[in-house]
Amino acid sequence: MTLPDHDAVIFDMDGTLVDSMWMWKKIDIDYLKRYGVAAPHDPQQIETIQKEIEGMSFTETAIYFKEKFNITDSLEQIKQDWNQMAYEIYCTKVLYKKGALKFLEHCKANGKKLGVATSNSRELVDAVGKILHFDRYFDCIMTSCEAKRGKPAPDVYLAVAERLGVEPSRCLVFEDLSAGIKAGNAAGMTVIAIEDDYSKDMRQEKIELAEYFINDYEDLAL
């Protein structure tokens, strides 16, 4: 596809910029087992949990787990445990999605401003960024915890656009989940949905919500 005219591109991270959504369901289940909580064994129940936390900030997700499963640990402890469980995987097994690196280099070469708007934690974003050299590409990296509300609220996208100094209407958003697409739409940005194995069951919903849909970044005409 040919990209619409724009001045900035803002990416969600997990499942959009990097291939990492596959690990989080297992981490959620292992976390519940690790802390003595009866982990859900019904696949449908697990899917319901994943859908309910879709788009939430790291802190909002911790609140959800604490309240739903009556976890006595503090929110900070819950988040710290998740960071520790995910850190090594991010540092050793997570790579850019197909064609993403070439697209980033194309954007930089053409003077586009680049940002990341993620629901993940600052600690894990920084870990991924160090390995994949985000500093070469991104002018702004922000988490939903640093904005007021997680997705589908537009807060994190609007905050990144403001820091980039670009009007929302001049921003492209790349997203892999429905909540993120809704956030980009609510921010008044042009949203391009990207395929991801984790969200393959919501493919049609994503196509209907976003202005464009791609299988990977190699679908883009550069």
Peptide bond into 40 cis (omega under 30): no
Under the banding of pLDDT at 50, 70 and 90, the label for residue 222 is confident
Is 8 in contact with 172 (CB distance < 8 Å)? yes
Percent of the chain at pLDDT exceeding 70: 96
Assess whether pLDDT exceeds 90 at residue 32: no
174 SS3 class = strand
Nearby residues of 59 by Cβ (< 8 Å), 6 or more positions away: 75, 79, 145
Nearby residues of 11 by Cβ (< 8 Å), 6 or more positions away: 17, 114, 115, 116, 117, 173, 174
Under the banding of pLDDT at 50, 70 and 90, the label for residue 161 is very high
177 SS3 class = coil
Mean pLDDT for 52-71 is: 93
- CA separation for the pair 182, 209 (Å, rounded): 7
179 SS3 class = helix
Least confident of 39-48, 74-83, 102-111: 39-48
pLDDT computed for residue 38 by the predictor: 63
Mean pLDDT for 159-172 is: 98
pLDDT computed for residue 42 by the predictor: 63
> In whole angstroms, what separates CA 215 from the centre of its chain?
17
Is 17 in contact with 95 (CB distance < 8 Å)? no
**Model confidence pLDDT, tens digit, residues 4-31:** 999 999 999 999 999 999 999 889 888 8
